[in-house]
Structure 1
Amino acid sequence: GDNILSPNQFGFRQGKSTIDAITHLIELIVDSLDKKTVTLSVFLDMTKAFDCVYHTILLNKLHSNGIRGLPLKWLQSYLSDRKQQVSVQNSFSRTTSLRYGVPQGSILGPVLFLVYVNNLNSKIHKGHIVQYADDTTLSFTCKSKFQVEIYAFKELNVCTQYFENINLKLNCSKTNYMVFGGSTAPFQYRPTVMLDDKVLDEVDCTKLLGIYLDRGLT
C-alpha cells in the first residue's frame, strides 16, 4: 500500500508525477539559495535496476512490511512463474525459473520495485532523497562547498553499500552531480565527489525525468 512507501518516492503512485518529483527538488534548491547555502545534488544512475531485483530479498521486504499469508504466497507464485528459455540455432534450452527481476511493463512490477528500494530514505541522515522508481537524486545542503563534499562522501558510501546489499549496481559513468549556490569563479574551491572510488563528473546541465535541469534553474 501507499502508506508503506517513503514520502520522497514519487514513482508509480496515485496523485504523484515526474513534475512533482522535480518540483520537490527545485523547491529544496531554491530554499537553499534563499538561505545563501550551497546545495550539491547527485543524480544516481542504476544499471538495469528492475532486472536485478533478487526475489528472496523482495519477499523478505514484503514480509517485514506486513504482507503475510496468502497475499505473500500469491506474490511468491507471481515471481516464480517468470520463466526463461535460451535459444541457440533454433534449439531451445529447458525452461528455468528466474530468481531475479520484476516485469517493468506490468502494473505490479514497478510497485514491487518501490517496496524493494523503499528504506533507502531511512539510511541517509545528512542528505535529502528524491526518488522516482529507479531514478534517485541525493542532495546535500551546507554553508560551504567543503562541508558539502564531506557529507556527500559519507552518504554516497552508505548509498553504494545499501544498493550492493540488495543486488543493485550504481553506474558511475552515468552518475553525475551539480552544485547550486556559492561562487562559480574558476579559482573557487570545487568539491570532488566520489562514488565507488571513482571521481564523478560535475555538470552544468542534466536531464532528469525527461526535463533539463541547469545550475541557474532556467
Structure 2
Amino acid sequence: EEGALPDDWRVARVKPLHKTGDKTQVQNYRPISLTSTACKILEHIIHKHLSTFLEEHNVISKAQHGFRKGYSTCTQLIQTIHDFSEAINEGKQTDAIFLDFRKAFDTVSHNKLIYKLSSVIKNDKLITWIKAYLTNRRQFVTLNGALSHSIPVESGVPQGSVLGPLLFIIYINDIVQDLSVNVKLYADDCVLYERINSSEDQIRLNNDFRKVMRWCDRWQMVINFDKTVYMRITLKRNPLLYQYGTSDSALSEVTCYKYLGLWISNNLSWNKHIDTVSANALRKIFFLRRALRFATPETRFLAYNTIVRPILEYSVMIWDPYTKINNNKLERIQKKAVRFIYNSYGRTSITNLLKMSCLPSVTDRNRICRLKFFFQLIHGQYNIDISKIVSYSSGYATRLRHALSIKPLSTRTNCYKYSYFPRTITEWNNLAGHIVEENNLAHFEALLQQ
C-alpha cells in the first residue's frame, strides 16, 4: 500500500559462481544474489500478476524466449535451427551474428528501467514498490567462509532473485524494434540472422547490428566485441563474403559457436556437439565411479539419471544424431554407465547388463523425446507459432494413414531431412492412430514406450 519494503529485504549475500576460464579472474564468475526469503514470497506474488499482465497484453516481444511461460531454450533453438536448415535445403546461405553483452544483468539502469516500466504499467503503487525494491540496495560477498564489507548497488537487477529476470526482459524488450532481419532472444542471449541472396541482405544485417549498438548506447548496455561473432551457415563452396561490424571494431568469423548450450557449426553438422557431450558425460561417469565406489546399484542408477542423463538429453530433439557413428558414441556412454551402475567391468556381457537395467536404447529415448515435444507443440503447450511448418493433411483416415497426419516437408539434403520438424513429422505420421489421438502427455509417452 505504501510502496515500501524493509531495509533488510534489500541486502543481498552474493556467492560467486564460476562459469568458465581461469578461476583466479573475477570476470569468469557469475554473481548469484541470495536475498531475503520473506521478500521472495512477496516477489512471487508480484511476479505472478505482472507476468500475467504482460502476456495478456502482448507486451513482451515474441522474439524473447527467456523466463516466460510456454517458452524455453528449446523453443528458441528449434525455431532458429529450423530456419538455418530450411535455407540450406533451398541452397541458400544464412549469415548470423551472435551477440554477447558484457554483464548485462548488472548494467541495467534503475532510472531507465523505472521509465520503461511506467510506460507499460499504469499502477503507481506497483511502480513505487519496484523502485524501492531496486534502489538503496546493498550487498556483500561470501567466499570460502569469509565475508566482505557491504557496498551499495547502484545498477542492475538482482541475480538469483524472483523478479530480476522478468524486470530484465522488460528492459531489453524494445531492442528488437525497427529491426528488419530475424532476431531471437533468450534473456540476454541474442542472435540476428538473415538469408543471404545478395550483398544487400548482408548490408541490411550489418545495419541492424549497428541499430542494436545504438540501442545499447542509449540504454547503457555494453556489447562485448571479443565474444560477439558472426557465422555463414551454408553448404555452398563459394558463399557471399562480407565483413560485419564497424570501421573501428570488425567482428570475428567463426565456423562453430556455442549458443544456448549447443555447439552450432556452419554446416549444421552436430559432430562437435556430440563429441563434447560424450566427453562431458564420460567425465561425470568416471567421477561417479570414484565417488560411489561402495554405493548400491540403486544409488548409482539414481546418480546416472540425475547427473549424466541430463547432459545427454539437453535439447536432444534438435541435435539427435542420425549417423551410425554418432549414435554409437552415445550408446557407448550408456554401456559404460550400465557397467558403472552394476560395478561390473571386464568380460561381463554388456547385453545381459543392459537387459537387467531395463534402460531403453539412447536412440529410442531420443525418438520419444522428440515426439513428446511435438505432442506439446501441436497441443499448444508452447507459445510458438508453427502454423507455417505444421499443417494437417486433408482427407480421412485410411489403412496406411491416421486422421491426424501432418503434411510431410519436402527435403533435398540430409541436413534438413534429419532436422527436427521433417524428421519428427515423418515419425508422427508413422504412429498408430490410437497413439496420436491421445490427449494426455503422460499417457502418450506410455504408449510410445510400449
Is residue 2:156 matched to residue 1:110?
A: no
Q: 1:78 to 1:30 in 2, by over 3 A?
A: same
Tell me the secondary structure at the aligned position of residue 161 of structure 1: helix
Letter in 2 for 1:164: D
Tell me the secondary structure at the aligned position of residue 194 of structure 1: coil
Q: CA deviation at 1:92?
A: 5.3
Q: CA deviation at 1:141?
A: 1.8
CA–CA distance in structure 2, aligned partners of residues 212 and 27 of structure 1: 15
C-alpha root-mean-square deviation of aligned residues, in Å? Answer: 2.2
- Structure 2 counterpart of 1:158: 211
Q: CA deviation at 1:198?
A: 1.2
1:136-215 counterparts in 2 under 5 A?
136-144=190-198, 146-181=199-234, 183-185=236-238, 189-195=240-246, 197-215=248-266
Is the 1:40–1:148 Cα contact (8 Å) retained in structure 2? no
Q: CA deviation at 1:211?
A: 0.9
Task: Decide which of 63, 66, 75 is 1:11's aligned counterpart.
Answer: 66
What are the Cα deviations for residues 119-152 of structure 1, in whole angstroms up to 9, with x where unaligned?
Answer: 1122212x111000010001122313x2232112
More strand by share: 1
Is the 2:184–2:192 Cα contact (8 Å) retained in structure 1? yes
More helix by share: 2
Report how many aligned residue pairs link the two structures: 209
Task: Decide which of 115, 121, 124 is 1:66's aligned counterpart.
Answer: 121
- Structure 1 counterpart of 2:184: 130
CA–CA distance in structure 2, aligned partners of residues 175 and 121 of structure 1: 17
Q: CA deviation at 1:103?
A: 0.8
Q: 1:143 to 1:176 in 2, by over 3 A?
A: same
- Relative contact order, higher structure (CA 8 A, sep 6+): 1
Is the 1:41–1:179 Cα contact (8 Å) retained in structure 2? yes
CA–CA distance in structure 2, aligned partners of residues 63 and 122 of structure 1: 18
* Structure having the higher Rg: 2
Is the 1:45–1:170 Cα contact (8 Å) retained in structure 2? yes
Tell me the secondary structure at the aligned position of residue 47 of structure 1: coil
Q: Which runs of no fewer than 5 residues in structure 2 stay unpaired?
A: 1-53, 142-146, 270-450
Is the 2:206–2:245 Cα contact (8 Å) retained in structure 1? yes
Q: TM-score, normalised by structure 2?
A: 0.44
Tell me the secondary structure at the aligned position of residue 168 of structure 1: coil
1:68-87 counterparts in 2 under 5 A?
68-84=123-139
Q: 1:35 to 1:71 in 2, by over 3 A?
A: same
1:27-66 counterparts in 2 under 5 A?
27-66=82-121
Q: Which runs of no fewer than 5 residues in structure 1 stay unpaired?
A: none
Q: TM-score, normalised by structure 1?
A: 0.87
CA–CA distance in structure 2, aligned partners of residues 212 and 132 of structure 1: 16
Is the 2:93–2:236 Cα contact (8 Å) retained in structure 1? no
What is the percentage of aligned positions where both structures have the same residue?
32
- Name segments (4+ residues, structure 1) moved above 4 Å: 90-93
Q: CA deviation at 1:117?
A: 0.5
Is the 1:178–1:215 Cα contact (8 Å) retained in structure 2? yes
